[in-house]
C-alpha cells in the first residue's frame, strides 16, 4: 500500500480529505501534518506530526520516516488573510511549495497534488464560462502565488519528469471545519448564522456571483485526480473545476425554503473588491474529459445537507 503525506491536514479541506484518504489507503498509510493542532479525528486515527512547511529538513525527515509515495499539500494562506499579510502568503504559498517539490524530487516521491484556485484569474479574464487556457493576471497576493505555483509545478514536470497535479478549486462549502480566511467564506458563514441566529450580514453584495462547490464533490474531485491514470492527463497543476454558481441572494433564498424567517443584510467590505476580480462561472471540460470529473451537488441539494448537519451540531452545542 502507498504511504500518503497530507500537509495542512487541520484546515477546512484537510480535515475531511485526510479521513477520506484513510478510507482508501488505510489509517496507518495516511500521515496528517500541520503547523497547527491536529484535529482529534485525525490524531486518534493513525500517524500524525506537527510540521511547518517552511522547515525543509523536518519535511524531508517525515518523508523518509514514513517512506512517503505521494504528497497532498494543502498548507496555504488564503485570499483575505493573504491581503492582510502578503509576505506571509508569499512565504507559505511559494517557499513552502518549493520545499515540497524539492523534497519530493530528492526523495523520489512519485506524485504531488497541490491545489490551485479560481484566484488565479483576474479582471482581464473572461468572467463567464472562464476557459481552461486564458489570461492569468490576478490582483491578490494569494492569486499571484497560485499562478506562480502552477508554473513552478510545470517546471518540475518538464525539468525533472515529476508527476505534479492540481485543481483550481472554486469556493468550497462545508460543515466540518471552518474555512481559513478566504473571500468565499461568506457562503459557509451564512449557513452557520442561519442555524444560530436566523440572520446573516453578508460582506459581499447581493448580486455577487462566484463559482462554488460542496465538500463531498471537492473530496471526490481531489481523490479522482490524485488517483487518475497519468497517461490520460494532458494538464498538470491547473485543472479548472466547477460545480455551481449563484448570487448571495439566491443562496439566501435557498436557505429560506427551510428557514422561512431567515433574514439577510448586506455590508460589503474589502473582500468585495477581491470577489469582483474572480470569474462568475468556469469551463471545466478538460477535467471532465481527461479524468471523468462529474459533480453531484447543486445549490438546493447542498443547502438541505448543510442545514441538516449544522442543526445536528447546534443541537449538541458543538457550534
Tell me which residues are annotated as active site.
142
Tell the smallest beta-carbon distance from residue 185 to ligand NAD (Å): 8
In the bound state with ligand AKB, the residue whose beta carbon lies nearer, of 59 and 218, is 218
Tell the smallest beta-carbon distance from residue 308 to ligand NAD (Å): 21
In the set 47, 70, 122, 180, which binds ligand NAD (CB under 6 A)?
180
Closest CA to 147 of 159, 130, 162, 134: 134
Cα 113 to the chain's mean position, in Å?
Answer: 12
In which element (H, E) is residue 191 found? Answer: helix 186-197
In which element (H, E) is residue 248 found? Answer: helix 248-256
Does 117 sit near ligand AKB (CB under 6 A)? yes
Residue 200 partner contact from ligand AKB, ligand NAD, none using kind-dependent CB cut-offs of 5 to 8 Å: none
Length reported for the chain: 319
Q: Could you tell me the sign of the dihedral formed by the alpha carbons of 24, 28, 34, 38, in that order?
A: positive
Task: Report the residue closest to ligand AKB, judged by CB.
Answer: 182
Closest CA to 71 of 180, 170, 165: 165
Residue whose C-alpha cell reads 490582483 in the numeric block = 139
Q: Which residues pair with 245 in a beta bridge?
A: 211
Q: Per CB under 6 A, which region of 97-105, 124-132, 176-184, 292-300 contacts ligand NAD? A: 176-184
The footprint of ligand AKB (CB under 6 A) covers 78-79, 117-119, 142, 171, 182-184
Residues that bind ligand NAD (CB under 6 A): 7-8, 10-14, 34-36, 51-54, 74-76, 78, 92, 96, 115, 117, 169, 171-172, 179-180, 182, 184
Amino acid at each position: 500500500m502507498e504511504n500518503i503525506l497530507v500537509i495542512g491536514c487541520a484546515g477546512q479541506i484537510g480535515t475531511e480529505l485526510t479521513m477520506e484518504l484513510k478510507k482508501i489507503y488505510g489509517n496507518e498509510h495516511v500521515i496528517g501534518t500541520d503547523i497547527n493542532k491536529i484535529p482529534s479525528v485525525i490524531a486518534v486515527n493513525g500517524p500524525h506530526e506537527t510540521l511547518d512547511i517552511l522547515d525543509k529538513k523536518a519535511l524531508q525527515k517525515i518523508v523518509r520516516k514514513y517512506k512517503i509515495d505521494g504528497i497532498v499539500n494543502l498548507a496555504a494562506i488564503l485570499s483575505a488573510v493573504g491581503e492582510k499579510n502578503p509576505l506571509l502568503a508569499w512565504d507559505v504559498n511559494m517557499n513552502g511549495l518549493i520545499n515540497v517539490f524539492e523534497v519530493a524530487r530528492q526523495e523520489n516521491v512519485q506524485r504531488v497534488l497541490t491545489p490551485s484556485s479560481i484566484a488565479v484569474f483576474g479582471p482581464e479574464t473572461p468572467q463567464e464560462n472562464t476557459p481552461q487556457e486564458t489570461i492569468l493576471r490576478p490582483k491578490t497576493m494569494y492569486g499571484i502565488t497560485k499562478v506562480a505555483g502552477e508554473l513552478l509545478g510545470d517546471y518540475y514536470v518538464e525539468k525533472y519528469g515529476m508527476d505534479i497535479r492540481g485543481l483550481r478549486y472554486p469556493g468550497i462549502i462545508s460543515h466540518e471545519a471552518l474555512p481559513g480566511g478566504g473571500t468565499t467564506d461568506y457562503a459557509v458563514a451564512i449557513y452557520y448564522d442561519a442555524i444560530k441566529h436566523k440572520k446573516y450580514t453578508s460582506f459581499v453584495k447581493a448580486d455577487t456571483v462566484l463559482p462554488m462547490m460542496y465538500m463531498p464533490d471537492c473530496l471526490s474531485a481531489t481523490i479522482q485526480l490524485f488517483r487518475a491514470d497519468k497517461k490520460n492527463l494532458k494538464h498538470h497543476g491547473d485543472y479548472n473545476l466547477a460545480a455551481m454558481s449563484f448570487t448571495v441572494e439566491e443562496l439566501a433564498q435557498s436557505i429560506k425554503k427551510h428557514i422561512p424567517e431567515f433574514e439577510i443584510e448586506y455590508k460589503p467590505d474589502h473582500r468585495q473588491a477581491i470577489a469582483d476580480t474572480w470569474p462568475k462561472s468556469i469551463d471545466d471540460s478538460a477535467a471532465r474529459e481527461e479524468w471523468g470529473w462529474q459533480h453531484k451537488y447543486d445549490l438546493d441539494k447542498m443547502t438541505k445537507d448543510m442545514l441538516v448537519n449544522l442543526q445536528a451540531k447546534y443541537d449538541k452545542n458543538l457550534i
